[in-house]
Structure 1
Amino acid sequence: MYQPILGLKGSSDRVQIDDRLQYQPTVYEFYTAASDFTTDGYKRLYDAVQYVQSRGISQIVLHHPMKFENYHSDVVAPEKYYPGLYRFIETTTEQLIRLGHDLNVQVLVHGGYSGAEVQHMVGLYPSVEAARQAVYDRLDRFKDEGGSHIMFENSIAPVFAYGHPDQEDEILAHHYRLAFDTSHCFIELHGDNAGLQRSLKHLAPDVVHYHLVDSLGQTHDSLQLGTGKINWAKVLPLLNPGATSIYEINLKDQNDCAEQMASHRYLVNLCHQLKEE
């Protein structure tokens, strides 16, 4: 069975990094922003990755920036209507892939986000299927460039969502290295634990990284484990034991990862309980 590992998330800011490193995590995931892709920002990010590596952490993930100007970084955005966003996603993904190859770290790109904005973007295509195909075409190209250094995360949107067996089969046919956000799938399924469990089991062999996050199953709430409605006792046995993971939890203070650590304690305690049963 999957054994909980300590995976923490923070920015390239040294205060945040040192806060996380005091707990000696196995995995560190960098939250990146547009500011990390200026000339100076990219150098700082590069140096920050090397700093974390110098502290003995070899499993590092670089999360593609979530936003560009007022938009989420939705790969479904057509170049014709969103030229600036389209180019931003292209150039930043290219920079991250280069960093991934140079420093032997992982790059995570979202297959989509959620909300009215992405719904509007999908509506610019002749059909939802055409929008999905545009996403697959783009991710296929990123996969070819990134190889074993890139993975793709599920959305809460009509494109690249987990929880629907037919769409999951489409995704599996592309042989992507998958990142699985538990809350995104749970929300996509409107709080259906059985559906989440089916999805976890179906996709597990192709999952290389998990975002372990609780949720009430309605909106993107990013809750501490044990405070939402996900049945973690049923989730734990379905996780790929060879994958990495982090706790992607909303923090009261970005310089203090207390909620991430509380989530880890919850999962470790639950794992002990399951072994004793």
Structure 2
Amino acid sequence: MFHPQLGLKGSSSRKQIDDRLRHHPQVYEFFTAASDFTPAGYQHLSDAIQYVQSRGVRQIVLHHPMAFGKYHSDVVAPEKDYPELYRFIEETTGQLIRLADDLNVQVLVHGGYSGPTVEHMVALYPSVQAARDAVYRRLDRFVRAGGDHIMFENSIAPVFAYGDPDQEAEILAHHYRLAFDTSHCFIELHGDNQGLQASLSHLAPAVVHYHLVDSLGQTHDSLTLGTGKIDWAGVLPRLNPHASSIYEINLHDQADCQEQLASHTYLSRLADQLTHQEAR
């Protein structure tokens, strides 16, 4: 059985870090932005990671920046059509891999995002499969550079989504270290709990990190656990017990992680209930 960890997410700002650290998390995931990759920003991020490590947090994940200018950081973007975005993703991924290697932390890169822009990007390829193959080639290169310091997260898009067994089989064939966002899969499956559970079971051996997030299954809503439609009693037994996890929840106040804490309380109580039922 997966035993919930207190995994919290925040930026490299000291105010957010100190808010999270006072709850003694086992995992801290840094939300990064383009500003973290200027010379001063990069040094600030490095110092922030070491500060979190100095406070006893051993499991640290660096989330690749979600956006560059008006675009999501979609790895499917063809270089010839989006040269600046393509170069930004290349350079920032390389910088994060160097940090991960130096400080023994993890890097998370999105296999894709969602929305009309990524659909336009995919349409630039001869087929959806050709777009997926381009994504796999790029992620393969990142693996060669990052090794056991890099992982890839599922999208709500035609490329790199979980939920379809055939696409999952393609992803598994590359032997990637996977990050599994529960809400992304649930939304991709239009709120199908059985499909989510099947995906969790299928991919569990390859998953090294979870984003535990609730959802109503229609849009990217990032809800506190227990307030959406995900069947968490069905999810918990299907999680890889050796993986790390965080609660990636929309916060009312970025300096107060109370929604993440409420999610942990909910999941911990549910895990206790399931454990007691098994013991009977």
Letter in 2 for 1:210: Y
1:133 is matched with 133
By how many angstroms is 1:272 displaced?
1.1
Partner of 2:12: 12
In the alignment, what sits opposite 2:222? 222
Asked whether 1:124 is paired with 2:131, we answer no
Mapped partners of 1:143, 1:255: distance in 2? 34
Query: CA offset at residue 78 of structure 1?
Result: 0.3
CA distance in 1, matches of 2:34, 2:229: 33
Per the alignment, residue 273 of structure 1 pairs with 273
Amino acid at match of 1:83: P
2:31 is the counterpart of 1:22: no
Deviations 1:195-246 (A, max 9, x none): 0000000000000000000000000000000000000000000000000000
Structure 1, unaligned runs of 5 or more: none
Describe the superposition over 1:74-105 as per-residue Cα deviations: whole angstroms up to 9, x where unpaired.
00000011000000000000000000000000
Q: SS at the partner of 1:208?
A: strand
Partners of 2:133 and 2:241 in 1: how far apart?
31
1:275 Cα shift?
1.7
Cα distance in 1 for residues equivalent to 2:202 and 2:53: 33
| Corresponding residue of 2:212 | 212
Q: What is the CA–CA distance in structure 2 between the aligned matches of 1:250 and 1:144, rounded to whole Å?
A: 33
Root mean square deviation of aligned Cα: 0.3
CA distance in 2, matches of 1:48, 1:274: 37
1-structure distance, mates of 2:204, 2:65: 25
1:139 shift after superposition: 0.1
Q: Taking every aligned residue pair, what percent have the same amino acid on both sides?
A: 78
Matches of 1:193 and 1:58 in 2, distance apart? 33
SS of match in other structure, 1:61: strand
Name the counterpart of 1:89.
Answer: 89
Could you say which residue in structure 2 is the equivalent of 1:150? 150
- What SS does structure 2 have at the residue aligned with 1:57? coil
What displacement does 1:276 show?
2.1
1:67 and 1:115 mapped to 2: Cα distance?
13
In structure 2, stretches of 5+ residues that fail to align are: none
Cross-structure match for 1:62: 62
- Indicate the SS of the match to 1:161: coil
Match of 1:38 in 2: 38
Return the alpha-carbon distance in structure 2 between the equivalents of residues 185 and 54 of structure 1: 35
1:87-130 CA-to-partner distances (Å, cap 9, x unmatched) read 00000000000000000000000000001110000000000000
Runs of 4+ displaced beyond 6 Å: none
